[in-house]
Amino acid sequence: QKEVEQNSGPLSVPEGAIASLNCTYSDRVSQSFFWYRQYSGKSPELIMSIYSNGDKEDGRFTAQLNKASQYVSLLIRDSQPSDSATYLCAVNPPSGYSTLTFGKGTMLLVSP
């Protein structure tokens, strides 16, 4: 069974620090990887997608992918209290009729 694993947290960091969120996946042939942010009581919001090994940066966010280790991470630089949310990792297998598998999410708490 395809699985996506995340530490449920909470991960607590002070304002201005770097938050590091991690995700592992079991399906070795997965090709597409996504990070969603979900505030309490709200719907998930796509913040990063990554498709090839290495780093992808977008503003304060950096996604890192290592397919050999089946590992994807999200770094948030200069963390702000408004970043406090649950971050969901999602994985999509390769071509065919496939859909996303979500992890349970990691709760991030950024203290002022």
Partner 1 sequence: DAMVIQNPRYQVTQFGKPVTLSCSQTLNHNVMYWYQQKSSQAPKLLFHYYDKDFNNEADTPDNFQSRRPNTSFCFLDIRSPGLGDAAMYLCATSRATSGTSGDNEQFFGPGTRLTVL
In the complex, the residues that contact partner 1 under the rule CB under 8 A are 4, 8, 31-32, 34, 36, 41-46, 49, 51-52, 88, 90, 92-100, 102-105
Residue whose CB is less far from partner 1, 18 or 46: 46
Q: 95 or 112: whose CB is closer to partner 1?
A: 95
For partner 1, the closer CB: 34 or 74: 34
Kindly state the smallest distance separating residue 86's Cβ from partner 1, in Å: 8
CB of 105 to partner 1, least distance (A): 7
Of the candidates 93, 89, 92, the one whose C-alpha atom is nearest the C-alpha of residue 5 is: 89
Single-letter code of the amino acid located at 45 = E
DSSP string computed for the chain = ---EE-----EEEETTSPEEEEEEES-TT--EEEEEEE-TTS--EEEEEE-SSEEEEETTEEEEEETTTTEEEEEESS--GGG-EEEEEEEE-SSSS---EE---EEEEEE-
Our CB check for partner 1 shows the closer of 76 and 105 to be 105
CB of 26 to partner 1, least distance (A): 14
